[in-house]
């Protein structure tokens, strides 16, 4: 691959990484009514102290905010069910938070197929959390398909990281 092609690819990847979901942090985006704002529109104080068991940072780092899936699957693995059980316990103990469950897929397959697969993955997580007692009105799903990869390469190690569902918390019981 030529230097120009590599540069163009890098710019495209960085451009995609800069995209965000304006409703991720609640009404109005990070600087709106749903978030505290902050430098560059990112709420760095809203995540809280990772040592505080009621903070988003604690949830992300200690409980775990994501589960991984096998190729072309939306069935939860035993490891995934373990993470989701911990998520459900945390959500049930912290009713002031709502969640958006993002479904993702690896870059193999068509855009349409991966959007549908991401939706099935997000729904599987949502259904599991509801079965564990989390109120359905606190959960919402969205599928990004292959549009938001964590890793970009043509190797199984990268693909495996991209086959995921991520639970993104926001303050407020309704999303």
pLDDT tens for 66-83 read 999 999 999 999 999 999
Residue-wise pLDDT for 39-98, tens only, equals 333 344 457 888 899 999 999 999 999 999 999 999 999 999 999 999 999 999 999 999
Q: How many helices (H) and strands (E) does the chain have?
A: 5, 4
Phi, psi of 104 (to 5 degrees): -130, 160
Q: Which residues contact 141 (CB under 8 A, 6 or more apart)?
A: 100, 101, 102, 103, 119, 122, 123, 125, 126
d(CA 37, CA 42): 6
pLDDT of 158 > 80? The answer is yes
Decide if 41 contacts 142 (C-beta within 8 A): no
In sequence order, what DSSP letters do the residues of 39-62 get, joined into one string?
GGG--SSTT--TTSTTSHHHIIII
Polymer length in residues for the chain: 175
How far is it, in rounded angstroms, from Cα 144 to Cα 137?
21
- Mind listing the pLDDT tens digit for each residue in 8-37? 565 655 555 555 444 444 443 333 333 333
Indicate whether this model's pTM tops 0.85. no
What's the pLDDT score for residue 6? Answer: 64
């Amino acid at each position: 691959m030529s230097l120009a092609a590599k540069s163009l690819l890098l710019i495209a990847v960085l451009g995609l990484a800069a995209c965000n979901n304006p409703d991720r942090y609640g009404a109005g985006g990070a600087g709106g009514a749903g978030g505290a704002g902050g430098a560059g529109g990112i709420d760095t104080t809203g995540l809280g102290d990772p040592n505080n068991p009621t903070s988003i940072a604690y949830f992300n780092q200690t409980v775990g905010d994501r589960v991984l899936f096998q190729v072309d699957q939306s069935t939860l693995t035993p490891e995934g069910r373990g993470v989701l059980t911990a998520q459900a316990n945390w959500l049930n103990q912290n009713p002031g938070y709502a969640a958006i469950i993002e479904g993702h897929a690896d870059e193999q397959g068509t855009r349409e197929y991966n959007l549908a697969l991401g939706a099935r993955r997000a729904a599987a997580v949502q259904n599991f959390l509801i079965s564990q007692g989390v109120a359905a009105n606190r959960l919402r799903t969205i599928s990004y398909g292959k549009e938001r990869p964590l890793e970009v390469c043509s190797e199984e190690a990268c693909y495996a990281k991209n086959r995921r569902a991520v639970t993104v918390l926001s303050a407020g019981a309704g999303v």
